[in-house]
A and B are shown apart, each in its own frame.
Chain A
């Protein structure tokens, strides 16, 4: 087993400013923008060992390591990325990037629009997965990486990895698509819309331009996160962790927090509403809803994947009902029909959708084995 305790250590985010206009799927053009990113490990002389980590809905560029010695929390995928870990920073040059529209340093609704010196707010255009991939490709140019050894992501991140294989077939050797789907189901879009409605109908949202008024649509964001969180866990996992446990041991016959699960969800909602931007949440959920690489090919995913040259690892988790194994098998089926090299693992886990951030042993083993193969191929 790999050493899961070693870390990339203290890390510092970097910024890349782009002044070449970026035409977006929506028809809008971003005249200039900033991407915030982090890198770990060393790019080899052949520049062949680059790995791009794409984040999911609430993620960002801070994938691994800590910002200071007493930083309480490590990056969001610190258990998978680091020296001796499956995404081994002794072998790979790993890049984490905050996507456009994010709220962690890249241009987004809460960043300043250079044209007017005010936060973008509601004027920040809706961006899509292909827009992100185009922006990421420009960052790759900036870093001198012609071809990624791998693009890796879970959930919405996996969608970016899949999109990379379609949009830049020559620039990606491997795509690791984890706990993802080739497009959202009606149920998934429905969940996203309830989350959006919670935010948009919050009186403090002010049509998205709440920054100038010094308010935050905290209630909406909190509800959106609570709802999201339920869908990221499995019924069994939640039952195992919280069951019907009561905080005080007795029914209080009121509406305050009584069950532990209520306490947990409210805490998660509060924490999230302290740091996450409401407009970014809206934008990320729309990017999810719009994702459908087959759409340009008459709904034929096989045709969409025809020109991909990458090899694929697709992985899903048995208790994930947000992006169930059936959804991953749709991707696998299309990849096989398109004649691509693909491995597929369906990992037994109680962690629901969140399992892609956990370390169930077969998952770690599968990632380790696959990334060993990647390293061997690119001489990392």
Chain B
């Protein structure tokens, strides 16, 4: 098992929000880099969930407990309030059951950390003004092959939370690995939310 020293900036921001020695569920965990880092640096315990068996294999190699599963089918394997943090990183925009997964996350966990590409980012708007669907570093797909089906901007996500009586506990917006605080819905390409029922 390799020791991870640096994380991708977006994953590092999520990792900073995770309390030491807490229980974490990472949905769409990919190769398990976030959990591997959290296990080594913050002594968390947790599971990753991924649809792809090859990612489960990579997680096993990284020393991460991974459960192969389909997020669209909900989180039936996990009982209520089992985790302190449930993470869904850059996946919600590609899901059919967007609202359901958000509710499921807060059923099994105390807090949800949700990140997504901000559709309101100025470069996206500019490409639309030019007559094209946006293609960028955070949205690296053409309209005909994109897995992303549910685009939103900061306000849209916050409305969905409000509708379901979910509180936004913290919000960070980034671009190129740096935090954006001025005009975030225009200048930020990636949004990070920490939400809960509290």
Contacts and interface: CB of A to CB of B under 8 A. Distances in A.
Interface residues of B, number: 22
A380 interface: no
B60 A373 contact: yes
B57 A336 contact: no
Nearest to B52: A362
B82 interface: yes
Contact of B59 (A341, A343, A347, A372): A343
Contacts of A365: 54, 57
B67 A342 contact: yes
Q: Which of B53, B54, B76 has the most CB of A within 10 A?
A: B53
A64 to B, nearest CB: 23
Nearest to A342: B65
Q: Size band of the A side of the interface?
A: 20 to 34
A59 B155 CA distance: 61
A366 B82 contact: no
A121 to B, nearest CB: 46
B77 interface: yes
Given A343-B65, A344-B66, A333 B76 contact: yes
Contacts of B47: 336, 342
A337 B79 contact: yes
Interface in B25-65: 45, 47, 53-54, 56-61, 63, 65
16 contacts: A333-B76, A333-B77, A336-B47, A336-B78, A336-B79, A341-B65, A342-B47, A344-B66, A345-B56, A362-B57, A366-B53, A366-B56, A366-B57, A372-B61, A373-B61, A373-B63
Interface string A182-200: 0000000000000000000
Interface of B: 1, 45, 47, 53-54, 56-61, 63, 65-69, 76-79, 82
B53 A369 contact: no
Contacts of A366: 53, 56-57, 60
A348 interface: yes
Nearest to A372: B61
A334 B56 CA distance: 19
Given A336-B78, A337-B82, A369 B67 contact: no
A344 B56 contact: yes
Q: Which of B61, B65, B68 has the most CB of A within 10 A?
A: B68
A329 interface: yes
A342 B59 CA distance: 12
